[in-house]
Chains A and B, each alone.
Chain A
Amino acid sequence: MRERCARVGVLFALACGLGAAAAALASEEPSGVRPRQIIETSAQQVLAILRDPARTQEQRIAELEKLAYDRFDFRTMTRLVLSRSWKKLSAEQQDDFVEQFTRYLANDYSSRLDRYEQQDVTVLDERAEPRGDVTVRTRMQGGEVDGAIIDYRMRERGGTWRIIDVVIEGISLVANLRDQFREVLTREGPEKLLEKLREKNAAPVESPAPSALAAPLPDWTGRPAAATLRQE
């Protein structure tokens, strides 16, 4: 009996210890990953998806979109883009905006990426911003946008660094959308803006014809696009 108790006790202690160790690992790992590494890994993942000839354009975009959900802090981006108007919205409206804007950005970003043909990304440096954010600077290599500088502004939340802005050749996505949103908000109000977001999400932005940039390799490699489509 005592032995059993002792054994249970040992097991319990072991379990607790393991649990604690696992918890420690779990909490340590995310914060241990530097923003720079996140961007490096993401870039490799994106390129792997883009370069896989077995995937159809739809599949590529879907996968890029999934990746975007992990890498971006869409709620913060929504707040920043809506700027002062954010506080004037009701809680429901705020949630609506986060939902719709998230879908818009994820889709826009993934279909935008899909137009980048064969390129490489070099991470140049990581710069600390005054209030805790970090900017990771990258350079595109090859293709249409050879030499383009793309900065990722990242913020830590709950131990994970996520992207809150993409700055392409000095053009901040957040600042640009803020400017556009402001026009719609002042002219037509938040409900109209929400409606426009919903419209765009209903008809996702995609190249009507297969872009010359996104090399239509799948069509020529003996894997008919239709066959891959049917699997879905």
Chain B
Amino acid sequence: MDRPSPSRLIALALGFALAAPPLAAEPEGARTQIAAAEASTDWEGGERLVWDPLEPMNRGIFQFNETLDAWLLEPVATGWDRVLPNRVQRCIANFFTHLVLPVRFANDLLQLKPVKAFDDTGRFVTNSLIGVGGLFDPATRFGIPKHDEDFGQTLGHWGVPAGPYLVLPILGPSNPRDTLGLAVDSVGAIQSFFLSLPVLASAGAVNAINDRSLTLEQVRAERASAFDFYAAVRNAYSQYRAARVRDREIEPKRESVDEDLYYLDDEEEDGDA
């Protein structure tokens, strides 16, 4: 019944609501650490920092998004949360995830991942028929794995670098590759072929509010625990998307980067032990 969509997991992990794309198609793409490691300017001696040359502008837009959230999205989502039972919220979330499945399927194929394509097909059929058009998620109970391939990841899979970190107005954290991915996925979504723009926009708003209502607590906690919320979101988004492109597997290429993260230098190591 639950919907462990990537945005929710992130929200749980590091809780930024604005990372949740308010469109039916989830925001895709992330700057990959692989690309970062290759373009050495992205990294400062294993600091695992995110390439953010547009930081002043990004911070401005981030602030705008935060204000928008504080004055509009969060209050509306709070009301939504009070009115609607959690079960209903979950059904709505399930439904929107369901609509994205064909796009995921296409991206599975584009990345030549037949197993995932098979899973996603099974999930779509199961939840369409038994899950009342995607309102419920029996596929999970039947043990069909969830995946979340999108066009941003497809581009990353074929070696397209993420580019600099980018904060989009309203949509939140992104980068050029993921922005393109998001655009392609949105256009490719089935509903965009037979629904008018106002209807799509309303649906997107409902999805955004519903998603936000499911992460109210986490986001509040994350904001409170962060030392620099902008940097926290930027870093989490970049790491998350990079891991998504790798399918959460550890890539040998990246090991040197990781080792730099975990060892400052040997002298210090001994001195401290």
Contact = CB atoms under 8 A, between A and B. Distances in A.
Interface of A: 75-76, 79-80, 83-84, 86-87, 108, 111-112, 115, 127, 129-131, 133, 143-149, 153, 157, 164-165, 168-172, 174-184, 193, 196, 200, 205-208, 211-213
A11 to B, nearest CB: 38
- SS class of chain B's interface: helix, strand, loop or mixed? helix
A115 B217 contact: yes
A83 B8 CA distance: 30
A108 B2 contact: no
Interface in B198-246: 217-218, 220-221, 224-228, 230-232, 234-236, 239-240, 242-244, 246
A169 B50 contact: no
Interface stretch (B68-76, B182-190, B261-269): B261-269
Interface of B: 2, 4, 6, 8-10, 12-14, 45, 47-50, 86, 140, 145-146, 217-218, 220-221, 224-228, 230-232, 234-236, 239-240, 242-244, 246, 248, 250, 255, 258-259, 261-264, 268, 272-273
A149 B227 contact: no
A182 B235 CA distance: 12
B261 A175 contact: yes
Nearest to A87: B268
Nearest to B266: A131
A115 B218 contact: yes
A183 B221 CA distance: 20
A148 B273 CA distance: 33
Contact of A171 (B228, B243, B255): B243
Nearest to B260: A83
Contact of A79 (B48, B140, B242, B264): B264
Contacts of B2: 143-144, 146
Given A164-B262, A175-B48, A175-B261, A145 B12 contact: yes
Per CB-CB distance, the 3 closest pairs between chain A and chain B, nearest first, are: A170-B243, A179-B235, A168-B13
B4 A130 contact: no
Contacts of B240: 169-171
A61 B14 CA distance: 19
A178 B242 CA distance: 18
Contacts of A164: 262
19 contacts: A79-B268, A84-B45, A84-B47, A87-B264, A87-B268, A111-B221, A129-B255, A145-B12, A147-B4, A148-B13, A169-B10, A171-B235, A175-B235, A176-B235, A179-B48, A179-B234, A180-B231, A200-B225, A207-B217
A86 B264 CA distance: 9
B264 A75 contact: no
A207 B221 contact: yes
Contacts of A144: 2, 4, 8, 12
A75 to B, nearest CB: 7
A88 B266 CA distance: 16
B217 A193 contact: no
A169 B247 CA distance: 10
Most B-side CB within 10 Å, residue of A143, A169, A172? A169
A180 B272 contact: no
Contacts of A86: 264, 268
Given A148-B9, A179-B232, A130 B255 contact: yes
A169 B2 CA distance: 17
A19 B217 CA distance: 53
B235 A205 contact: no
Most B-side CB within 10 Å, residue of A153, A174, A175? A175
Given A130-B255, A172-B261, A180-B235, A83 B47 contact: yes
A87 B264 CA distance: 10
Nearest to A211: B217
Nearest to A116: B12
A130 B250 CA distance: 13
